Structure formats: structure tokens, C-alpha cells
Amino acid sequence: QVHLAESGGGSVQAGGSLRLSCTLSGYTNSQCYMAWFRQAPGKNREVVAFIGSDGTTKYADSVKGRFAISQDNAKNTLYLQMNSLSREDTAIYYCAARSGPICPYTSWTMEWVYGYWGQGTQVTVSS
């Protein structure tokens, strides 16, 4: 059974930084890719960043240049480094994973592609 668990959320002032972690357990070697999503109050969940099994990364326009996604395969951990945070980044952040054998890379922004989700971690940015 695959399990994802996020950590690292919290409260920070605008302009500050946080690093989120997502630990994977029970995972197979058939991983396609992983991503971070977020859901702000009253809004739909949206993709923030993506990382493929080959290390390719992609970002939502709203976080480009401020956020960085990375993965430590030896530790089975996914990270999201968030810098220059603003109030608009306040949300619950979720990590998600897609396993193979079919890897629809053109659909990386879609929630339905991901079969495994963490429980979420709250990030609150105050001015």
C-alpha cells in the first residue's frame, strides 16, 4: 500500500521561505512522476510543481523562479523549496504520485492523473 506523508508546513511572514517534504512508503519502482498541488480557501486545487522520473521539472507560472521541486530517491522523499512567499501562497499543500506503467506526461497538471495523495500540510503566509 502506497502512503504519502507531507511535513514542513507552518506560518511564515511574507518574503520568507519554507521547505515542504513528502515521504513515500510502500512505493514501487514503477513511478512515473510526482507533483505538488495546493488548495487555497474557496478555490480549486491547482498544480504547483512537477518532477518526472528523469528529473525533468515544471512549474505553475505563479511560482516560477520562487519554488523548486526536488526528489531524493535514496530517502524516498519529495521536496518543495518555497522562497519569497506571499499571502497568495497560503493554502494546503499536497504531494501526489503517479505510478506506471502508463505515464501520461501531457496531463501532469490534472488531478485525476495522480493515484496517490498525501493528507496535506497547511502553509500560512502573513503580511
The length of the chain, given as a count of residues: 127
Question: SS in 3 state form for 26-51?
Answer: CCCCCEEEEEEEEECCCCCCEEEEEE
Residue 52 has pLDDT above 80, yes or no: yes
Confidence of residue 69 (pLDDT cuts 50, 70, 90): very high
Lowest mean pLDDT among 40-54, 69-83, 100-114: 100-114
